[in-house]
Each structure stands twice: as C-alpha cells, then as structure tokens.
Amino acid sequence: MKKIATLLFVSFLGGVITLGSYKLFFDQGTQHFLPQENSSSSSFIPTTNSTRAYGTNADFTEAAEKTVHAVVHVKNVAVFKRGPRSIWEYYPYNNEGGRALQGAGSGVIITPDGYIVTNNHVIDGASEIEVTLNNNKTYKAEVIGSDPISDIALIKVDPDENLQYIPFGDSDNTQLGEWVLAVGNPFNLKSTVTAGIISAKARDLNMRDNSPQSFIQTDAAINPGNSGGALVNINGELIGINTAISSPSGSYIGYAFAVPSNNARKIVEDIMEFGDVQQGILGIRGRSINDEVIREFDLSTSQGVMVADVTPGSGAAKSGIQQMDIIKKIDDIDINKFSDLTGYINSKRPGDEVLVKLMRDGREREVNVKLSKLDTYQVAALGLEVANATPEELEAYNAPYGVKISRMLVDNLPSADLVGGIISEINGEEVTSVRDVEEIMQSRTRSNPIVIVFYTRDGEKQRMIWK
C-alpha cells in the first residue's frame, strides 16, 4: 500500500512540475492580434481603415446594421416605342402610345449629402429616377454621369438631412474565402441581406484577352433587383457593386459578380472631378498564358501575361517593355491572367506610375511605367471601341488610314474577335481619327444600316454590315 501511495504522489508531483513549466515558458509574453489593413484615401469619397475579422464564428449583425440603411431602392421609368427588353420590364402602356417600362434595382449611398452609386443598366434610358430609402423616404434623383463599359453610374438626391452611407473598402485586399454580405432589393423585396464568401477575384465573364472586365465572384445570393447594390465585408465596408449573375434561368444559382470597389470608386471620382472617366493605359496588348501559349513560345512559366504588342509612344514603350516579356506583377498585385492586369490598371488614371515586374529571357526585371491616356470613342451601335492608330500599326495591317478597334463592348457581335483590326471607312466615308468616327456616328440616320470597311490583323480587307 505504501508503494502505491508513493507512486501516486510521484505521478501527481510530476504533473504539477510539467504544467508549471509550460505556463512559465510558453504563456509569458504571448500576444494575440489581428492583422491591420489600410485602405487608400480618397479625395472625394469617405473611406475607412479597419481590421479584418477571421474565424468561423463570424457575426454578420453589425455589418448588416451598418449597411442596410445605406442601400436604396432605385426605380427607373423610361418610355420605349419598341417591345420590352426583358421579362422584368413589362409595364402598362402609357398615354403617348409608347410603353412605360419601370425597372427596379439598388443603389449605395456613398456620401452623407446624397451621392449614390448604382449600375448603368439600372438607370439607362430613364426619363425619371426615384430613390426610396430604407426609412421609406422617397426622392427624385438626377444622373451625374455613367460608364457603360464598367456598368457603373453616379446619381444624386438632395436629402433634407445627412444620410447614412457606406465607406469604401480596399477591394485589392480582399481574399478568397472571405465572408461577404450582399445588400439590395431582389424582386422588390426591400432591404434584403444575404451572406456568402468571395469565390474568385478578377473574374472575366467574356473569357477573352483584352477584355476590361474584372469582377469579384461571390456565392452570396443575388437576384434581379440586386443590381447596383452593395457587396460588403464583415466590417461593413463597401468592396463591390453587385452587377451580374450567371444563370440559365435568370435567377440565382450560386454565381454572382460585383465590380470591385477600387474600380467603382475611381470611376465615381472621375465623374465628379472631370465629368467623364479618365482611363489610364499601360500601352500593351497581352495574352494570358495557357498550355497552347506555353507550347507555342516554349515558355518556362505558366503564370503571368505575355506582351503580344506594345503601342508606340505609350508608357510601356517608353519604359522599354518589349514583345514576349512576361508581366508577373504590377505594384503589389500578382498578375496571373489578363483580367488581373486590366482590373488593376482600370483603377488608375493617366499620369499615374506603376512598378511592373516582368521576365525577359528567363531574367526578372523591374520598370516604372507612367500610364498614358487612351483617346477612344465608344461606338455603341457597333458594340466596340476605337482608338487612334499609329503609322506603325497602319503599316503592319496594310491599311492606308483608319482607326484601331481597341476592344469589344458586347459579346453578340456578327463577327468573331475584331480587336486589333483597323476600320478605314464607315458608310462610305474615310476615317482617320476617332473624331471622324464620332462625327459620322452622330450625323447618321439611326434607322439606316452601318457599313464598315476594316482590315483584319492578317492585313485582309473586309466589309461588314450592321442592321
């Protein structure tokens, strides 16, 4: 019995010593902290510096309370002589013989004096815009400006008091798997909040190089009426403007997309300060790297953007960027595909400088590039954008004169990829600059077809008719 008692005592004493040693050596000086993130300051729009919340025990109540009163219901009343554009726009005929169509979407209050960001397609063609707050107050709104390419619009109401608003967060600092809330008015169900995560970043829905699209993808439920609403993080900061869903039925099936807040904020600030969007360009035409490109050019890397062409006189050309260079990083943003590059550059202005990290002949290089201004004209009737062509580009395409097709605005064109081609004539008139295109398009009779003559990237001359 004494031996058993002695053994128990020794075991107990050993446990006490072990526990004490652990407390002494491991608990002293231990600090628990969450990483800090800073948002870029804005000249016009309130932003915030915050701490990201991690973990599985996320509480959405504070973020919902902060944001639900700053997301509004936007009603768009327009009159069309033709049939409705979609099943969501059926509305009784008006007295003028046209069809009064009432569209509904959402908007995000971004300043206390009544500036609201929404989608361009929510207010497009509106003869009257009505905004209803969460407290049921209603105001008439005016359109300050819009950008059809990014689908962002800025409207303004004149409230009788300061409004609750959502500060912009830094969408570049968002991470895959991060909790988010979508706040909006789906199916006219006012002030609806849904939760999900960030499923992907820099998502290009066109799946085509040289596309300007770069969306945040989320699985938070978004439906018709959510357009223009807020995508916020768990701290209640605006990280995106809900814009689109991917669905064969037209309703949410798990894939929703938002314009990143850094891009939306830049567009809004441009509209406020300049009246239109100031687009800075790197000055390259790039190709995302895939198996086909790796085999064709015998590349040693599978990530990045390969420079296919460099625009003469651009910032890229002046900094020494060359064809076949592989762009790996711009500032602190990793470039894995072309939408990573366009998404970040679209948040910059002409004159801004970026640090480009690239590979050439297997060696890493760094160059500073000053972004140049893109002198373009968006030909909405053709669904494309044109830019002035350089003499070198005209010579390369065997074109005597013309303007360059810089990018597509829509997918349903009566031709395959035209980007990079040269338009030399429109309706029988020669075009030598984007100003020529603008004058021709503004003076044409809208009911008449549009005939263009253009040169493909192979130097082949073709003719195309838009009806």
| Catalytic residue numbers, as ranges | 121, 151, 227
Q: How far is CA 155 from CA 146, 174, 273, 340, 354, in A?
A: 9, 27, 14, 29, 31
Give the β-pairing of 179-184 and 192-203: antiparallel
Residues sharing a CB contact under 8 Å with residue 412, sequence separation 6 or more, in sequence order: 383
- Report helix, strand or coil for 383: coil
Which residue type sits at 308? A
- Tokens coding 135: 């407290």
Determine if residue 352 is left, alpha or beta; phi over 0 gives left, psi from -120 to 50 gives alpha, anything else beta.
beta
The 10 Å Cβ neighbour count of residue 202 is 22
DSSP reduced 3-state for 436: helix
The set of residues, in sequence order, having a beta carbon less than 8 Å from that of 353 and lying 6+ positions away, is 368, 369, 370, 371
CA-nearest of 335, 130, 120 to 244 is 120
SS3 at position 434: helix
Beta carbons within 8 Å of 12's beta carbon, 6+ residues apart: none
| 47: DSSP letter | B
- SS3 label, residue 268: helix
Q: Which amino acid is residue 387, in one-letter code?
A: A
Task: Answer whether 406's CB lies under 8 Å from 419's CB.
Answer: yes
Helix (H, G, I), strand (E, B) or coil at 393: helix
Rounded Cα distance between 338 and 172, Å, is 16
